[in-house]
Amino acid sequence: MWRRRSIDAHRKALFLLPSLSSSSSSSSSSTSTIRAFRALLTLSNPSSTALPAPPSPHSRSSFLSPSQTLILHRTTHFSRSSSHLSKRIYYFTSANTLEWNEPISCLEVGDRDDGGVIEEDSKPSIPVRAYFFSTSVDLRSLVEQNKPNFIPPTSRMTNYIVLRFGDVKSEPIGLGANISGNDCCYMVVFQYGSIVLFNVHEHAVDGYLKIVEKHASGLLPEMRKDEYEVREKPTLNTWMQGGLDYIMLQYLNIDGIRIIGSVLGQSIALDYYVRQVDGIVAEFTDINRGMEKTGTFTMERKKLFQLVGKANSNLADVILKLGLFERSDIAWKDAKYAQIWEYLRDEFELTQRFASLDFKLKFVEHNIRFLQEILQNRKSDFLEWLIIILIGAEILISVYDIAHKSAITSL
């Protein structure tokens, strides 16, 4: 249908050619008409790669004067699966030049001055990096030393702050704005030790981590790291779209940074606590294997109590500090951010990972209870033997006393 309309339009344009070339000779006019008709046949089959050679400037001037301009047609054909587009332009310019096939790259695709609208490509991706290298951060002192970079909160959540670096004189990005392609960097710092960096390159990460390190306590021997990606596409049909290790949004603003940062911060911290519990499970596994071989175990009561305290503190930190089951206030207020929050929680499997952590802690609890019973039985056995010894000693003393009195009486 579209191709037939294009051919009809060009056929009408061809009928105008004789009137424009009335001052030319009949032989030159017929030759030019035949060549123009060959161009029309080429338009009827855009997929064809064999095109006739463009006419010479002399033959073009035989049917079109230099002062006249006739636009035949302009079409752009492109394939989304190709990295280059094929642009076919058929028109006569005032300089009497005829343009044919001209390859263009995807970077040239956009809104053109002639009214042709072409789909806009997505913007450059925004790298997101999450780190966990301490168990506590003093947010108040961190804000005091970075007041120009501090972005005031919009919710009641007080366990994190957002710092903005770069062009801090301009207003923070708001609704409908985007940060891809600019120099602004954002850092979300959580009280429990997680740090999430937005739009920060790899070589600049250490500088931002040192800013937080001055206010951190409980530094870990090994820093944990995770990476993600946010892509902005204003022409996206839906508000958000998930992908492999990335999320695509129509735009990313401060509330989006807070939502994404909260989930990534919980994820990287949860990974640390899972590793801690895995270490406790490994210790109890070694104890059980030793009991399997020897029939007894030699753990001290102090060591067992340390494992009990470690397991309980890890569970308390996950529930209380991380707020793993607390829904963000931003997600409560706006359904769009609730969608991001729920998607990322599913993407990073926070619920499933906590369920696995809880199962491991129950295994640890079962082993602790079992070992406590053994230690209690050991203590009971010791007390029983002590009582027996004391009773035996008392009996011996009584027998000796009776014997001694009998000897004195006989004398």
Both tokens of 201, joined, read: 């390159």
In a domain, 61, yes or no: yes
Same domain, 146 and 264: yes
- Of 285, 309, 338, which marks where a domain is finished? 285
- Any idea of the CA torsion for 345, 242, 157, 265, to the nearest 10 degrees? 60
In a domain, 215, yes or no: yes
* Structure confidence at residue 1 (pLDDT): 45
In a domain, 404, yes or no: no
Range scoring the smallest mean pLDDT among 15-19, 68-72, 122-126, 262-266: 68-72
Same domain, 91 and 192: no
Same domain, 80 and 167: no
Same domain, 58 and 144: no
In a domain, 72, yes or no: yes
- Of 220, 254, 285, which marks where a domain is finished? 285
The angle subtended at Cα 121 by Cα 246 and Cα 228, nearest 5°, is 15
* Structure confidence at residue 177 (pLDDT): 54
The percent of residues in the chain predicted with pLDDT above 70, rounded, is 66
Same domain, 216 and 84: no
235-246 average pLDDT score: 89
Number of domains within the chain: 2
Range of the domain at 76: 2-108
Instruction: Give me the chain's average pLDDT, please.
Output: 74
Nearest Cα residue to 247 out of 232, 261, 234, 236: 232
Between 325 and 47, whose confidence is greater? 325
In a domain, 277, yes or no: yes
* Structure confidence at residue 178 (pLDDT): 58
* Structure confidence at residue 2 (pLDDT): 43
In a domain, 303, yes or no: no
* Structure confidence at residue 383 (pLDDT): 87
- Of 48, 79, 108, which marks where a domain is finished? 108
* Structure confidence at residue 301 (pLDDT): 80
Residue 143 maps to which CATH number? 3.30.310.10
Same domain, 134 and 54: no
In a domain, 6, yes or no: yes
Same domain, 33 and 182: no
Q: Is the pLDDT of residue 19 over 50?
A: no
Range scoring the smallest mean pLDDT among 24-38, 204-218, 256-270: 24-38
Nearest Cα residue to 178 out of 264, 108, 248: 248
Same domain, 46 and 131: no
Same domain, 68 and 181: no
Same domain, 141 and 96: no
| Chain segment 149-190, per-residue pLDDT in tens | 999 988 777 899 999 998 655 544 554 455 655 678 999 999
Same domain, 135 and 253: yes
234-251 average pLDDT score: 90
Same domain, 206 and 133: yes
pLDDT band at residue 144 using 50, 70 and 90 as cut-offs: very high
Both tokens of 3, joined, read: 């191709």
42-57 average pLDDT score: 44
Beta strands in 166-257 (DSSP E): 185-190, 194-198, 216-232, 240-243, 246-249
* Structure confidence at residue 304 (pLDDT): 86
Q: What span, in angstroms and rounded, lies between the C-alpha atoms of 114 and 268? A: 51
For helices 254-294 and 350-410, give the axis angle rounded to 10 degrees: 40
In a domain, 150, yes or no: yes
Between 128 and 95, whose confidence is greater? 128
Q: Which residue type is seen at 142? A: L
* Structure confidence at residue 377 (pLDDT): 83
- Count CB-CB contacts under 10 A for residue 407: 9
| Chain segment 57-94, per-residue pLDDT in tens | 444 333 334 333 333 333 334 333 333 333 333 333 33
